[in-house]
Amino acid sequence: MAARTSFVGKPLACAGRVGPRATQVACRSVTRAQVAEVAVLNETGEKTGTKQLDLKFAGESSKGLVHRYVVHVLRNQRQGTSSTLTRGEVRGGGRKPYQQKGTGNARRGSRRSPLIPGGGAIFGPKPKDWSSKMNKKERRLALSSALVNAADAIQVVPDLDGKFGDMKTKSVVSALQSFGCGEDEKVLLITKDQENEGLYLGGRNIPKLTFNVMNNIHIYDLLNADRILMEESVVPYVQETFGA
């Protein structure tokens, strides 16, 4: 399998400009169509042909755009609910703990001091909103560019509806092996919906298998996968949504 370029941690490739504004300018100026050829497999895992996806591609600015989308998704996943009590919020401490002089100890005016166990926290975390904004067109272009880059790892497989009625992990593992997925490979399976209960219940115990629905493809799962399996009914939606 051909090696894929990692978009995570890459700087924005734009002539002398950085930041979201530069990415927006680049998106408007260098967006073009890119043909991605993906392999088509039958139920036994044999390659029966290829399909071409005519997708939007951000050109040289795709690395910075995809990286910013990954940061946007990961920031929005953070809850930001960590909280500590400051000196003024700790309960008690109204009484002086011991007399000012004669004990040999440091002078104390309250038990709520951060220097005493059980006291307040100094510069501790407080609830914070980590979310960031990104335009819908930019998000869609970033995901489309990531699909173009991952074309070598994408394989189109027949729809898996009704094929896992036993709801057993063994059946799902056998199907993945027939499609050429190794035990150490991280696999992303993109389905048309979540109604295939047998597939989801049978595959949830597989550590390196991730499920995505076609209308909610996760950019991080897409970049993190070694092999991407896409149901045949998902291809028209991808072409219509991300097509040039």
pLDDT, tens only, 59-73: 888 889 999 999 999
All residues at 6 or more sequence positions from 91 whose CB lies less than 8 Å from its CB, including other chains:
none
CA angle (241 as vertex; 219, 67 as ends), nearest 5 = 25
In order of their start, the domains of the chain are 20-78+133-242 (3.40.1370.10), 79-129 (no CATH)
Region at 49 (left for phi over 0; alpha for psi -120 to 50; beta for the rest): left
Q: How far apart are CA 63 and CA 21, in angstroms?
A: 15
Closest to 177 (Cα-Cα) out of 152, 197, 198, 206? 206
* pLDDT beyond 50 at 241: yes
3-state secondary structure of 43: coil
Q: What predicted TM-score, i.e. pTM, was given to this entire model?
A: 0.74
Q: How far apart are CA 91 and CA 46, in angstroms?
A: 69
pLDDT attached to residue 210: 94
Closest to 51 (Cα-Cα) out of 43, 60, 59, 41? 41
pLDDT attached to residue 45: 87
pLDDT, tens only, 173-230: 999 999 989 888 999 999 998 888 999 999 999 999 999 999 999 999 999 999 999 9
For the chain, first and last CA: distance in Å?
A: 26
pLDDT, tens only, 146-155: 999 999 999 9
Burial string for 143-177 (b: 16+ CB within 10 Å, else e) reads bbbbbbbbbebbbbbeebeebbeeeebebbbebbe
